[in-house]
Amino acid sequence: MHRRSSRRRGGRAVVVELVGPAGAGKTTLAKGVRRADRTVHAGLSLWGLPRGRLLASAIALIPTMVKAAVRNQRLRWPEITHMMRLDALWQVLRREAARHRLILLDEGPVFALGWLDLCFARHGARAPAAWRRRAVAAWATVLDAVVFLDASDATLADRIRTRDKRHRMRNGTDAAIGRFAAGFRKAFDRVITELGRMGHVVVEQLRTDGDSLDRSAARLLATLERRRNGH
């Protein structure tokens, strides 16, 4: 996986994204960090963004949608909404970065771009190239680090089936869940590599299957402290 040294730019917050396959513990660990250290701005993600920002992002996306339609590559609604959310999140993050020392994203650009790559690939297409280049370049200017959470396929399958949050793979076989996780790992690796080429993205690995989630949250907090202190 691609690694580069991190440095805090312009006095703004250090921005870290939690990423990993479903069941890796992203949301649980983000909540644990928030409880343990209120100075970390945790929970910012693609979801629950201001409607005004989403509307502005939708308007900005119109030329891309028109070009795709002219080329007979019409964008579908799930793809459009993720593209809108990604742009809106970037706009919100730019504002928040001036107000916090450390921001922890749960499902940010690595997740969104990886998800889009897989979504487009399922129907034999790709994300609009120019839009994707712009998105990667923009996020490379603000994302400092990625913490890649992972666990064994057996652990992921167990968590997906037993957690309260519903997931479309909940009734899948172990093999199907393993393939699903492998696809996302590969997609996330590709996006991280692209971001690293354009910016200074540090990648940290954190396994969540060999310890309790509380202890994993403590290890994550220690990792974030190193990033906040510039190490």
**Residue 10 CB partners (closer than 8 Å, separation 6+):** none
Query: What is the reported pLDDT for 214?
Result: 78
What phi and psi values does residue 62 have, to the nearest 5 degrees? -55, -45
**Complete DSSP assignment for 125-148:** ----HHHHHHHHHHHHTT--EEEE
Residue 105 is predicted with a pLDDT of 95
| Domains observed in the chain | 14-45+100-228 (3.40.50.300)
- Which pLDDT value is given to residue 9? 47
Q: Which residue has the tokens 């190490």?
A: 231
Which of these, 215, 208, 210, lies nearest to 149 by C-alpha position? 208
DSSP SS3 for 102? strand
Q: Is the pLDDT of residue 208 over 70?
A: yes
Is 60 exceeded by the pLDDT of residue 82?
yes
Rounded to an integer, what distance in angstroms lies between the CA atom of residue 91 and that of residue 94?
A: 5
Q: What percent of the chain has pLDDT over 90?
A: 64
CA 167 to each of CA 25, 54, 73, 127, 159: distance values in angstroms, whole numbers, following the listed order: 14, 25, 29, 24, 10
Q: How far apart are CA 29 and CA 181, in angstroms?
A: 19
Q: What is the pLDDT of residues 2-61, one digit of tens each?
A: 333 334 444 678 999 999 999 999 988 888 888 888 889 998 999 999 999 999 999 999
- Averaged confidence pLDDT in the chain: 89
CA–CA dist 117, 124 (Å, integer) = 10
More confident residue, 167 or 10: 167
* pTM confidence score: 0.89
Assigned token pair, 57? 């992002």
